[in-house]
Amino acid sequence: MMKITSLLILLSFSLIAYGQREERLPADLRQHNLTTYNASLFNPAFSLDRNNAESVAFWSRWQWQSIDGDPTTIFLNYTRKLNSKSAAGLAFFQQNTGIFFNTGGAVNYAHQFELNDLVKLSLGVNIFAFKQELANNSFQIDPNLPLPLPTITDDFIIQMAPGASISVERLTLSLASENLIDYNFNAKEGNTAKEDKIFMSLLSYDFPLTLGAATNAFLRPSMYLRTIPGQSNQIGFYSLLNTDKYWGQLGYNNFYGYGIGVGGTFFKHLSIGALVELGTSASISKDASFELMAAYFLGKPDERHKVVGFDIEEDEGIILQLNQEEKDQQMREELEKAEKIAESEKNISKEAKKAAREKDKEERRQEKRVRDSIADIEKEAVLAAKELKREQEQEAKAKEKEALAKVEKSAEKEQEVIKQEEALANVRREEQTRKLDSINKAKQTEALAEARRVAEERRRDSIAKVELAKRKAELVEQSEADQPQKGEKYEEVQTEDGLEPGYYLIANVFGTKKYFDAFMADLRSKGLSPGSFQRNKNNYHYAYLQRFDTMREARQARDSKYGGKYAGNTWIFRVVGN
């Protein structure tokens, strides 16, 4: 009954919280695929039963990019079990959110409370300390920009992520927040608003399996819900098949798409795995994401976490181990007897072996002396050959240098003769040019002045006619273009303080100054020169790509994605003017 109730609670919460919003790259850690090692990054309470303490684990993720680029997320974690009820961890991480680049460390602590024989409550916390900087600060500030720009600095942030997990036999229900409490030491205020908190819930059930010789095998189907600020809620499902030698998982996330991963454990301690996530038409991007993980288990192999239901197999293993110990004792006694016999035979042949070793050493010394003599002769021959080759090369270089000097001297003489002939030819051409100029100069000046006068009159008449026709056509076209098209997002005001009349191509509207500043900095880092204004009507910040004089120009820029330089959606805001 409790299993059914827990499932209904999670499903109800999913239906209430799920909403549709405009999609963008989330600012969370994107750790929804972590099921075994480093699972404490999803929920800090999981360091007790899913991190396989004591271990060192590494995880990296390439978000919507090929694996030969820089990872968007890196997490290196050490987890240790303090006792049967508590565990702790220490980690280093890097995270690229698309706008900010976070680098720092994290500490983890979790403790378990046994409410009764079946129900266990686990509480944990992750505390992150990191430096936050712009992901791309290569842009240059335009000194002619009419609006003041904010000063972007690197911030130091402390962030606390608590979590809780309750287990009833094999059923687990957990809840965690990635940034419930945070503080920006540079800004001296909280780093995120109340509406920007990230929450995660998960429901799973473990089914013990028997797979041949594989030990500790189980199947864990799970479903989870993640609330991301500014994004649609993420709902996901995955199934994990795990043994002590290998594991595999298959899942789906409505934001990222399908995910499939495999891994194996080698030498009972080293684990290596990989996962690929494929976007679908329902996800924000069809590009693939990749994850790699590696872990080294520092404890004994039999200390790995086991699923409830393996107790009977463990008892049978203890009996088999006792029988094996008796056989090992008998084997050791037989080996001791064999060693005594071998020792007696060894003493008899010891002197003979010693003499053979001395003879062998003397033979090796003689062989070494012969090899050294041969090596010395070969070395002297090589040195003599090198000396002869060096002398021949020096002689060849001297001859080549002498021949080159003769050629250069001859070339200099020929060049001097050519220069003298060219000088005489230039003098003759200049004399002829002066004579022709003196004869034709007066006639050419008079004819040229008359031709210029006639051409200027014709040009002015043509320009006047073209400008008149163009102005009439523009007035007609402007009147027709100003009418909104069907389905077109468009807003028009008579006047707006500080704005000259025209058509503004709006990229985004923000109610929060922090996200507005980050968005403007991101546009400039892409080589754009955006503008902005704040409306008196709603006090919102409007970010626009450019102001245009006509509706036609603004529509062309919108339909062409601003010449292919801005992939987001845009709309037109018109200021009519008096």
H or E stretch at 349: none
Q: Tell me which H or E stretch contains 369.
A: helix 350-481
Q: What is the pLDDT of residue 139?
A: 42
Assign 3-state DSSP to the chain and report helix, strand, coil percentages, each to 5: 40, 30, 30
What's residue 348's pLDDT?
A: 60
Question: How many helices and strands in the chain, by DSSP H and E?
Answer: 6, 21
- pTM, whole model, 2 decimals? 0.49
Residue 209 CA to residue 158 CA, distance in Å, equals 43
Q: Are 194 and 148 spatial neighbours (Cβ–Cβ below 8 Å)?
A: no
Cα–Cα distance measured from residue 382 to residue 519, given in angstroms and rounded to the nearest whole number? 71
- The residues, any chain, with a CB within 8 Å of residue 500's CB and separated by 6 or more, are 547, 575, 577
Q: What is the pLDDT of residue 10?
A: 43
pLDDT values of the chain reduced to their tens digit, one per residue, 578 residues: 444 444 444 444 443 333 343 345 566 788 888 888 899 999 999 998 887 778 899 999 988 776 666 778 999 999 999 998 999 999 999 988 878 889 999 999 999 999 998 999 999 999 999 998 887 644 444 455 444 445 556 889 999 999 999 999 999 999 999 999 999 999 889 888 888 899 999 999 999 988 877 778 899 999 999 998 878 899 999 999 998 889 999 999 988 889 999 999 998 889 999 999 988 765 566 778 899 999 998 877 666 655 554 544 444 555 455 566 666 777 777 777 777 776 666 666 677 777 777 887 888 788 777 777 777 787 788 888 888 888 888 888 888 888 888 888 888 888 888 888 888 888 888 888 887 877 777 777 877 888 888 888 888 888 887 887 787 777 666 666 677 788 888 888 888 888 899 999 999 999 999 999 999 999 999 999 999 999 888 899 999 999 999 999 999 999 999 999 999 999 999 998 87
Using only C-alpha atoms, what is the Rg of the chain?
41
In the β-sheet with 531-534, what is the strand arrangement from edge to edge? Answer: 490-493, 571-575, 502-510, 541-548, 531-534
pLDDT at 67: 64
DSSP 214: B
CATH class of 492-575: alpha beta
pLDDT at 143: 52
Length of the chain: 578
In 3D space, the residue among 533, 530, 505 whose CA is nearest the CA of residue 519 turns out to be 530
DSSP 402: H
- Classify residue 241 by burial, with Cβ atoms within 10 Å: 0-12, 13-18, 19+: middle
CA dihedral over 78, 79, 83, 85, signed as positive or negative: positive
Confidence (pLDDT) at 29: 84
Tell me, what's the pLDDT at 176? 96
Check residue 488 and give its pLDDT: 85
CA 39 to chain CA mean position, Å: 20
- Token pair listed for 212: 């041949």
Q: What is the pLDDT of residue 30?
A: 86
3-class state of residue 310 by DSSP = coil
* Amino acid letter for position 245: K
For residue 538 the two structure tokens come to 């709603």
pLDDT of residue 224: 95
Nearest-5° Cα angle at 91, 306 to 163: 60
Identify the three-state secondary structure at position 352. Answer: helix
| Cα separation values, 407 from 134, 400, 412, Å | 63, 11, 9
Structure confidence at residue 312 (pLDDT): 43
Give buried/exposed letters for 332-342 (b at 16+ CB in 10 A, else e): eeeeeeeeeee
Give which of 95, 91, 93 is closest to 72, Cα–Cα.
Answer: 95
Which pLDDT value is given to residue 449?
Answer: 81
* CA atoms of 355 and 349, how far apart (whole Å): 10
Write down the pLDDT at residue 138: 42
Q: Which CATH superfamily is domain 2-21+34-309 in?
A: monomeric porin ompg (2.40.160.40)
Query: Distance between CA 431 and CA 377 in Å, rounded?
Result: 81
Token representation of residue 513: 């100054």
The number of CA neighbours under 13 Å toward the Cβ of 56 is 4
Distance CA 456, CA 465 (A): 15
According to the model, what pLDDT value does residue 386 have?
84
